Amino acid sequence: MPDTLKGNLIVGQSGGPTAVINASLAGVVQEALKHSEIGSVYGMLHGIEGVLKEELIDLGKESPDTIELLKQTPSAALGSCRHKLTDKDYDRILTVLKAHGIRYFMYIGGNDSADTTARISRLAQETGYELRAMGIPKTIDNDLAFTDHCPGYGSVARFVAEAVRGAGLDTEAIGVVDTVKVIEMMGRNAGWITAAAALARIDGDPDTAPHLIYVPERRIVMDKLLDDVQKVYDRLGYCVIALCEGARGEDGDLLSATGGALYTDSFGHKQLGGAADYLCRVIADRLKLKARFDKPGTIQRMMQSQQSPVDVEEAYTVGATAVQKAVAGTSGYMVTLVRQSNDPYRWTTGLARLEDVANAERLMPDEFLNAEGNNVTQAFLDYARPLIGPPLPPVARLKKYMVAKKA
């Protein structure tokens, strides 16, 4: 058994907010309050910047009802950040941790957050300050390695499925006016969010939206894409396309020349956008079909009504588990989700070294994408479907029994 470590705990949130990141926060707080080894439970405002600025709040003073309500509250209650640590930050961080008697450090986030937590864990070891640091996974992009999937993904996948189903019905109804609809999803290098659009298909019917899916893992050959669109249009009279904002052409460049030109954060990540607009212009110019696009943007990651109950439970559990593992002596790891079976869906938790997580990215595997590069496979549907919770609400499909023409 490890030596008992007594001290205060601090928790922060980093990166893009999600529909369930606060469930992980609730898991940390509620679990921490159960352990006598942990004194006060602090929250850092706006991630690690809250430590640097010594802007901390006492989460133990919040009402239990408020902490419980975090489970169904989207966005990041503590505030988030995208701050890459520099050498000059380390002394300040250590000074603040020591001043507040912090011995447990919990950070909820993705790859960059894993990097931050790993650095702080290493800093504590090198300076002889006893600290247990744990990473708690979060990202709608679902691109963290060493975990089956990421908390946040199930809810954004549910949002995308419902949004694309609605857009598909809309386009089908008014296809004679708006013939092609392109829906642009978030995703820099990985197409997990865009792929979830396939869950929109009504009863799995490939003639319901989306008809085509394009992700960064498959380079787009524009002539082939236009041929794909034309074939769907010839068959149905309209076409709905799910397109990842990080989609790339044959040359490896972003599909849109304007993509990534807006803003670059401290980790070097470019803000993407413009792929759907570009594709609509190409379709209109080359195929002479009217095309328009929808772009949910950041709204897709924080819709309370689209929270997947599976996602909420998993997000809460990884938060609570991080505390349990830290109290038991673990440090320098991220809690992972381990799938045990698809049907029925069963899962448990595991651990991965923070340094491994920080330096890896999980793209969609080949078996999840079809050979043509314009759709997903049944293997992906089997993987993603359990994560969104209950099936999407049913919709009616008229048989459209035609009346014989008499006039």
Q: Annotated active-site positions, please? A: 141
* DSSP codes, 305-317: GG--HHHHHHHHH
- Report helix, strand or coil for 9: strand
By 3-state DSSP, what share of the chain in percent is helix, strand and coil, each rounded to 5? 40, 20, 40
With beta carbons less than 8 A apart as the criterion, state whether 185 and 244 touch. Answer: yes
Neighbours of 243 (CB within 10 A): 29
Cα atoms found within 13 Å of the Cα of residue 228, Cβ hemisphere only: 18
Span between the terminal Cα atoms of the chain, in Å: 89
In terms of Cα–Cα distance, which of 284, 173, 165 is closest to 237? 173
- State the Cα–Cα distance between residues 50 and 60, nearest whole angstrom: 17
With beta carbons less than 8 A apart as the criterion, state whether 80 and 14 touch. Answer: yes
- State the Cα–Cα distance between residues 230 and 228, nearest whole angstrom: 6
Q: What long-range pairs does 266-270 form, CB within 8 A, spacing at least 24?
A: 266/82, 266/83, 266/84, 267/82, 267/84, 267/112, 269/82, 269/188, 270/188
The secondary element (H helix, E strand) that includes residue 184 is strand 180-185
With beta carbons less than 8 A apart as the criterion, state whether 13 and 21 touch. Answer: yes
